[in-house]
Every structure is written in structure tokens, then in C-alpha cells.
Amino acid sequence: MANLPEFPPALLFIAGALLVALTPSASTRRAFTCTIPLVSAFYIGMGLHTDTTVSIPFLTYELSPLRVDRLSYVFGGIFSLVAFIGSIYAWTNADRKQQVASLLYTAGAVGVTFAGDYIVLYVFWELMAVSSVFLIWARKESDSQRAGNRYLLLHLTGGAILLAGIAGHTSATGSIAFEAIVPPSDTWGAWVILMGFCLNAAVPPLGAWLPDAYPKATVTGAVFCSALTTKTAVYTLLRAFPGWDILVVAGVAMALYGVVYAVLADDIRELLAYHIISQVGYMVAGVGIGTPLALNGATAHAICHILYKALLFMGTGAVLHTTGRSKLSELGGFLSRQKLTFSLYMIGAFSISGFPLWSGFVSKSMVVSAAGEAHLDGVFLLLTLASIGTFLHTGLKLPYFTWMGPDRGIRPTSVPASMHAAMAITAALCTTIGIMPGILYQFLPEASNYHPYTSAHIIESIQMLLFTFFAFYLLIPHLGSYPTVLMDTDVIYRKASPWAKRTFVDCPAELFDSVQGCLSRVTGAATQALRNPTLWFRINPLNPPQPFDPDRERKPLQTLLTAILIVFVWVAILSVSTWSN
């Protein structure tokens, strides 16, 4: 395998998207969407080796579309793997646009992962934003259209912020290399780059786009969305900003913020979206702590989160697909008809909650333990508290009120076998990693001797989980879900959008139309006047003077003054321009 040519794996997905776009057969397109990610995962695992770099001269810089090390290796592999699982889940979906968008979306994530410079990173970063929005628009509902518009606007704004930061950082350092920035940085560009990364990581108050958009995506599109954008942002933070203290504060705030909002959510996919923010908070905090254990924990938790969050979105997507409903206040009473779906979902719920024998137990605890080893007692306590909230809402509230709540007469259709197959593969991976964590630990960027299965850790976890379960059991009558509309920080731009449209779109357009109309009238008057200068004096050499008709002829003095005014303005503009030069 060492003789395989070395090229960016993102090219496989781009070529696959082109093939899918040109293939008329639905079955062939399905085969392509499943095969391309599998080929990519195989190529990354067998054809690429660490410390590999491919460079291309560009102006005075060296572009690096392929830079392979342990960090990019593990993220590139998991992105390809989850794209394969998502394609199986979407097997029954023959929508060409969604198939192309999912491949390009994955190409963007994989391209960012292997980018060795900021220019290549920016190109794939924008590819992610543009392609992923089609998975939201593809639902073809008015809410999804508006949510997609907001999503695209915010991510293009984030891309502009990132580009400005890249320009500033490159100007200050003279390098476009995508590498660690040692804190504290004295370049404003580094801080602007951090802001661009944090927007994609959904760090509050920049993260309201996530629970706004993901619940509006298609059933299959939400699986890709949950796995790629925020985790790509975590990768960039791991690469560029390890040890930045501000990320510890941001991560803890995210962990608590997501849990609190999940309490209020009624939509099952919105609840999971807020828990994405909460779980990414652990990763961001780990990046900020910056110790080898914390960086390993952030990486491991990102890998595990990609899998179990995809599994959770697959389970809730199956509910939406078979019932047409996604509100907790409208669901319940059909567990007997979806026992397999429920069982597979619960494996994802056990994983995200940190149950022993499942993946979250061996990854989340690394970040929490790193906070304890760094003597960040407040961080340790708050992250532990957020973990209790995760089990309460994702592991108990959501499955109970979705499948076991009051019977509302729902008779769901059968879940497609491809959906169950994708969920089963993901559940098996979550369980395998939980039982044999060494399979994951061997790929982490730092050397690791962490052992999650200590008696103290197991007893502590079981105690917290049992306490949460009994608290939920006692409070079930008070935890019923009610129809709600959550007001997040997106209310700022939602409420301000009519004013902004009036100020920055409508008013300039009206002003432009007014100026254009005025200039058109002035130009017409000047043209009419200069066409026959004898009209200035009302003298016609061939015909006797006619009575003045104001509707037919222009006032000669007004026309003359207008022409003089135009000449004067142009002379003044030229004079000022010459003087300034």
C-alpha cells in the first residue's frame, strides 16, 4: 500500500459528487454515495502515512493541500467513516441534490482536516458552508427555507471574519502555515481567526444558528450536519489554539448553556442540537486546558461524539420519518411498534451520558480528569454537573416522552431496513470503543496511559447516573413537555433584520433610484438643449417664432444652467482628485 499516490482525500469526495450529479440511475447514485466514503476511509487508513506533506508553489507562498499527522489522520478517518454510515442511513433517499451536497459537505470537512495552510483551509471551509445549507433547504418547508437563509448568511459572515483574520495573521507573521499559535498572541489576526473558528464551533453567543438550523434539516441531512461542522471547528481549535485559557471559560459556558436550553426544548431534534453545544463545550474546554491528557480527551470525545450523536439523530430521524412528528408534546405511546429503534437509540443515549461500557465513558472522563489534574476545581465541578443534565434530558426525558409517554393514537409506519442497519453499525462502534478503549486511544495525538475503568471512576459514574434516574422518576409528573418557542441569541438578528433590511437595502436602493432618475432628467434636458442651440434664444431661421409651449419646450435658462452645473461638478471632481494625488 505504500506505493499508492499521495493526494488530498477530499478530491475523492469531489469526484464522487461530480459522478453522482451526472448519473441518471438512482440505484447507481446510492452505490456511489456509499462507496466513495468507504474508499476514502480505506485510502486514509492504508495509503497515507504520518509526517506526509504535499506542497504546491503559489505566488510567494507554499500551499499545502495534504499534511498528515496523528491529529489529521484520526479526524479524516472518522469523517469518512461517518459519511459512509450516513449514506447507508440515507439509502432510501434518491434526492440527487442531497446526495451531491452530502459528498461535497464531507469533502469540505476532510479538506480542512488535511489542510496545511490557511488558504486551502479557507477554500474547504467555505465549501462546507455552501454545500451543507442544501441539506436544510432540501426539506422544502417555509421554516427550513428561512432557517437555511439565516444559516448561510451567518456562515458566510463567519467565513469573511476568518478571511480577515488570515490576512491579518499572515501580514504580521509572513506565513500562511496552519499551525499552533502560542498564547498570548500579539497579532489581532489570531484573535479574529479564533472568532471565525468559534462561530462554527457554536460557542455562545455565536452558536444560535445550530439549534435554529439542524432541526429544520432533512431527516438524513441532520445526521451529516451533527457530525461535521462543529467537529471540524474543534479540529481547527486543537490545531491552532491549544492552551488558550479563554477557551476553558467558553467550553464550560457551552456545557452548561446547552443543558439548560435542552430543558426547555420541545422538538426532539432541537433538544439534541442544544446537547451538541453542550458536548462540544467539553472539547473546547479540553483544548483550552492544553495538557496532553486534555488534548487527548478533546480529540477522543470528538470522535465518540461524532458516532453517538449521529446515532441519536438517526433515532429521532426515524421517528420523524415514520410519524411525521418531532415534538415531545405530540409524541408517545408507540414503543411496542419501534422496539428496535428505541433500543439502538438508547445505546447512543448511554454513550453520551457516560455509562460504563459505552464510548462516552472513556472519552468525556478524560477531559474532566484533565481539569482535576490541572487543579481547575471549578471547571471539574461544572463539567460534572453538565454531565448529569445530559443523562436527564437525552437519556431519560427524550426517550420517555417520545416512545413511552401518553398514548396519542400514533401508528408509525415501518422504519426502513437501511436506517436500522446504519444505526446498528454505529451502535456497535459505540459499544466496541466503550469496552475496548485502546482501539481509540492508539490513534490519539499524544501518548496516552489513561485508564478509565478504575473502581473510583466506575462507582462515581454509577452513583451520579442512579441519582439522576431516581430524580427523573420522582419528577416525571412535573417534566411533561409543552409546546414552546425558545428565544436564543438569534433573536438579536431576527428582530433587527427588518430594520437592517430597511437601512442597508431598501433605503440605498431608493436613494440610488432617485439619483438615477434625477441624473436621467438632467441628461435628457442637456441633450435636448444641445441638439439645437438656437432654441436657447427661441430663434428658428426657417420658421417664424411659435408661441412658447411649456409642455413641448424646456425653459432655455433652466436648461443652460443645468448644463453649466454639470460641467462645474465634473471640473470640481477632477480638481479635487488631481489635488489629492
Statement to judge: residues 407 and 527 lie in one domain: no
In a domain, 293, yes or no: yes
CA 410 to each of CA 338, 467, 482, 486: distance values in angstroms, whole numbers, following the listed order: 12, 32, 18, 26
Do 262 and 133 sit in the same domain of this protein?
A: no
Number of helices (H), then strands (E), belonging to the chain: the values are 22, 2
Cell matching residue 284:
473546547
Same-domain check for residues 158 and 247: no
pLDDT at residue 329, as a whole number: 87
**How far is Cα 491 from Cα 48, in angstroms, rounded to an integer?**
46
Residues 122 and 205 reside in one and the same domain: yes
Output the CA torsion 41→215→232→288 (10° steps).
Answer: -140
> Domain check: are 512 and 475 in the same one?
no
Burial class (CB in 10 A: 0-12, 13-18, 19+), 431: middle
Helix/strand/coil percentages in the chain, nearest 5: 75, 5, 25
How far apart, in Å, do the first and last CA atoms of the chain sit?
Answer: 63
Report d(CA 135, CA 222) in Å as an integer: 8
48 occurs within a structural domain: yes
Q: Minimal CA–CA distance to 234: which of 417, 407, 445? A: 445
232 belongs to a structural domain:
no
Quick count: other Cβ atoms within 10 Å of Cβ 316? 27
* pLDDT for res 253: 95
486 part of a folded domain: no
Asked whether residue 524 is domain-assigned, the answer is yes
Query: What Rg, from alpha-carbon coordinates, does the chain have?
Result: 30
Q: What is the DSSP letter of 338?
A: -
Strand partners for 54: 66
8 Å CB contact between 402 and 480: no
Q: Tell me which DSSP letter residue 55 carries.
A: E
Q: Mark the ranges of the chain whose per-residue pLDDT is less than 50.
A: 1, 539-542, 548, 551-554
Tell me phi and psi for residue 56, to 5 degrees: -130, 125
On whether both 473 and 505 belong to a single domain, the answer is no
Q: Are residues 272 and 177 in the same domain?
A: no
Domain boundary among 212, 229, 251: 212
Alpha helices by DSSP H, listed for 60-183, are: 70-89, 96-114, 118-137, 142-173
Whole-number pLDDT of residue 79: 97
307 in Cβ contact with 359 (< 8 Å): yes
In a domain, 565, yes or no: yes
Q: Rounded CA gap, 159 and 195, in Å?
A: 10
C-alpha–C-alpha distance, residues 200 and 193, integer Å? 11
| Residue at which a domain ends, from 455, 479, 503 | 479
- Phi–psi pair at 327, nearest 5 degrees: -100, 135
> What does the pLDDT read at residue 488?
75
DSSP string, 504-556: IIIHHHHHHHHHHHHHHHHHHHHHHHHH-GGGGGT--SSSPPPPP-TTTS--H
Q: Is residue 453 part of a domain?
A: yes
Q: What angle do CA 192, 274, 297 make, to 5 degrees?
A: 70
Whether residue 454 is contained in a domain is answered as yes
Query: Which cell numbers hold the place of 73?
Result: 489522520
Per the structure, the count of domains in the chain is 3
Rounded Cα distance between 390 and 397, Å, is 10
Last residue of a domain, one of 445, 479, 513: 479
Helix (H) or strand (E) holding 52: strand 52-58
Confidence (pLDDT) at 16: 96
Regarding whether 204 and 252 lie in a shared domain, the answer is no
Cα 369 from Cα 357, distance rounded (Å): 18
Q: Are residues 526 and 401 in the same domain?
A: no
- What residues contact residue 106 under an 8 Å CB cut-off, 6+ apart? 13, 37, 79, 80, 83, 224, 228
Q: Are 507 and 467 members of one domain?
A: no
CA 178-179-183 angle, 5° bins: 125
The one-letter amino acid code at 447 reads: A
- In this structure, are 413 and 500 located in the same domain? no
Q: What's the pTM?
A: 0.86
Tell me, yes or no, whether 18 and 79 share the same domain. Answer: yes
Residue-range definition of the domain harbouring residue 573: 492-580
User: How far does CA 347 lie from the centroid of its chain?
Assistant: 25
Tell me the C-alpha distance between 282 and 294, whole Å.
10
